Structure 1
Amino acid sequence: MKPVPEALLKKHANLVQSEGVTVVSHTQREVGEWVLQTLMIEGCDVPFKYKRPKRFKSLQGQKVNLIYYPAKESVAGFEIEVMQVVRVRRY
């Protein structure tokens, strides 16, 4: 049985939940044995990233619920903000 979002949010204070957000862009690329999924959300300039073992149907144009936490990533010597997704569900 999967934990309900309220339990996740109580257990991990730095998690954020967004409901009913629209996916503007969804890219998938292979990184080793994983497929890196990157979502761009309407009204937000920060990428939402997560890994899955295989490709999925595109979420572009879909409304989704996300549970994520803010993180930093170094790209070419620059530190950028990203959101590490813990859970994504179609709305």
Structure 2
Amino acid sequence: MKSPVDKLLQGHAQLVHSEALKVYSHTQREDGDWILHTLMIDGCDAPFQFRRKKKYQSLKGCPVNMTYYPSIETIAGFEMEVMKVVRIKRA
């Protein structure tokens, strides 16, 4: 029997799954009716972002398992790589 992560990865070629990533920064900002969460991971320069309806407890210092895909955002005229998180869980 396949896990939910395996099903996601099989159906979407661009998705990447990583386990036990250490979070060194977690910010939460209001974005309309949503809360925008931005994580920075040890050894990676790109921010990982996801939205939730409510604030989340801080993930700073915690290992997490994430499923995400790379994306490009234009911020102040500069293109920047951002990882869009589809699924996140504490490891």
TM value normalised by structure 2: 0.96
1:86 and 1:17 map into 2 onto residues whose CA distance is 10
Structure 1's consecutive aligned runs of 4 or more residues displaced over 6 angstroms after TM superposition are: none
2:16 and 2:68 map into 1 onto residues whose CA distance is 5
Q: Secondary structure at the match of 2:14?
A: coil
Structure 1 partner of 2:42: 42
1:17 Cα shift? 0.4
TM value normalised by structure 1: 0.96
Listed one character per residue, the Cα deviations across residues 39-81 of structure 1 (whole Å, up to 9, x for unaligned) are 0000100000000001010000000000000000010011100
Q: Secondary structure at the match of 1:8?
A: helix
Across the two proteins, how many residue pairs are aligned to each other? 89
Structure 1 partner of 2:81: 81
Listed one character per residue, the Cα deviations across residues 15-45 of structure 1 (whole Å, up to 9, x for unaligned) are 0000001000000000100000000000100
Structure 1 unmatched ranges of 5 or more? none
RMSD over aligned CA atoms reads: 0.8
Matches within 5 A, 1:60-79: 60-79=60-79
The residue type paired with residue 82 of structure 1 is V
The residue type paired with residue 81 of structure 1 is E
Structure 2 partner of 1:58: 58
The residue type paired with residue 36 of structure 1 is L
